[in-house]
Amino acid sequence: MNYYYITGTSRGIGKAFAEHLLTNPSNYVFGICRNKTIEHPNYTHYHLDLTDVNAIKDFRFDPHSHPKKIYLINNAGAIGFIKPIGKLDADIIIKNYTLNLIAPSVLTNAFIEFYNTTDCEKVIVNIGSGAGKNPVDGWAVYCSSKAGLDMFSRVVDAEQKIRAEHPQESIHKDFKIFSISPGVVNTAMQSEIRSAEKADFSRLEDFISYKVNNQLSEPSIVSDKYLKLLNNLTTIKGVLSSIKDYE
Ligand SMILES: NC(=O)c1ccc[n+]([C@@H]2O[C@H](COP(=O)([O-])OP(=O)(O)OC[C@H]3O[C@@H](n4cnc5c(N)ncnc54)[C@H](OP(=O)(O)O)[C@@H]3O)[C@@H](O)[C@H]2O)c1
């Protein structure tokens, strides 16, 4: 069996990942988020608020006997309140970093520790963003948390490569990690972006026009593109890439 732990399966890109994977009876999906919207014999839901640091610390992965693949897809994320720095509530800043950066870091650490001696294909996929590479006003926490997630992915990749050179000393071998950006996708996150105040966000009109001009990709199309890549890991262009790099 192939086991996929996916955060944020209640809607958007994460739900599309889960639904696509569940069409194959060899796949089992563990969804991690607050709302359960999937019912399937090969689906288990873990109710978790990924802004709650204690809940994240307490999360435990499951042992699997003779797995073929085990994946962690750190997908859950939020744009947070769209406002310039100086106008944000401190708790909002802390919660947004916790969801977008601390939760994937803590889950990845637990994943590598727990499956260290499990012999199968082990992959971590972080859902990155173009906003982690380019500044967008009103999105300081989102941009910097995605930039942090990219660097976190690069460091874990470097660690895995160093350890692979010394297999006898290796305690954390054979994990692959990627941070892949999806482009602009027609999800609840995009409608939150369109509901920002013009005074707090200079690019509001751009994001409204993406929707009006049908420039948003549908989550099912985007998840198909990710899963095609993940079924052929050698085609992935390094630790950091974007779905657009494969079009
Ligand atoms: N949409 C885009 O254009 C776009 C572009 C670049 C990158 N991305 C990235 O793609 C990923 C998915 O985004 P999306 O567009 O699919 O967003 P979405 O439709 O808003 O879905 C977000 C998912 O994250 C989960 N989530 C949010 N807050 C959570 C919390 N406190 N605890 C646990 N889970 C939480 C939600 O589940 P619950 O509410 O049930 O908890 C939901 O399933 C994110 O990392 C986002 O940054 C999206």
Domains and CATH numbers, the chain: 2-184+218-246 (3.40.50.720)
> In the predicted model, is pLDDT for residue 169 greater than 60?
no
Give the chain's largest Cα–Cα span.
Answer: 58
Using the atom order of ligand 1, give the atom closest to the CA of residue 146.
47
Strands 43-47 and 175-181: unpaired
pLDDT at position 168 is 61
Taking the centre of ligand 1 as the mean of its atom positions, its distance from the CA of residue 68, in whole angstroms, is 28
Nearest-angstrom CA–CA distance, 243 and 222: 8
* DSSP codes of every residue in 31-42: EEES------TT
Residues in the ligand 1 pocket, defined by CB under 6 Å: 7-14, 33-35, 48-51, 75-78, 99, 127, 129, 181-182, 184-185, 187-190
Q: For residues 34 and 47, is the Cβ–Cβ distance under 8 A?
A: yes
The backbone torsions φ and ψ at residue 76, rounded to the nearest 5 degrees and listed phi first, read -55, 140
**What φ, ψ does residue 208 adopt, rounded to 5°?**
-65, -40
Beta bridge partners of 73: 6, 125
**Pair of tokens at residue 244:** 């657009």
The one-letter amino acid code at 140 reads A
Task: Report which protein residue has its CA nearest ligand 1's atom 37.
Answer: 8
Q: What residue type is assigned to position 177 of the chain? A: I
Give the three-state DSSP class for 108.
Answer: helix
Between the CA of 162 and the centroid of ligand 1 the distance, in Å, is 32
Its pTM surpasses 0.75: yes
Q: Which of 5, 33, 215 to mutate to test the pocket of ligand 1 (most atoms within 8 A of CB)?
A: 33
Determine the residue of 9, 10, 91, 218 to mutate for testing ligand 1's pocket, defined as the one with the most ligand atoms within 8 A of the Cβ atom.
10
Per-residue pLDDT, 173: 57
What value does the mean pLDDT of the chain take?
96
SS3 179: strand
The answer to whether residues 41 and 25 touch, using CB atoms and an 8 Å cutoff, is no
* Shortest-distance Cα residue to atom 1 of ligand 1: 185
Interval between CA 13 and ligand 1 midpoint (Å): 7
**78 CA to middle of ligand 1, Å?**
5
Task: Report the DSSP pairing between strands 43-47 and 69-74.
Answer: unpaired
**CA distances (Å), origin 181, targets 6, 132, 241:** 16, 9, 6
Q: How many C-alpha atoms does 73 have within 13 Å on its Cβ side?
A: 28
State the CB neighbour count (10 A cutoff) for residue 126: 28
Q: Give catalytic status of residue 142 as yes or no.
A: yes
The pLDDT-based confidence of 172 (bands split at 50, 70, 90) is: very low
Confidence band of 149 (pLDDT split at 50, 70, 90) = very high
Over residues 194-227, the pLDDT tens digits come to 999 999 999 999 999 999 999 999 999 999 999 9
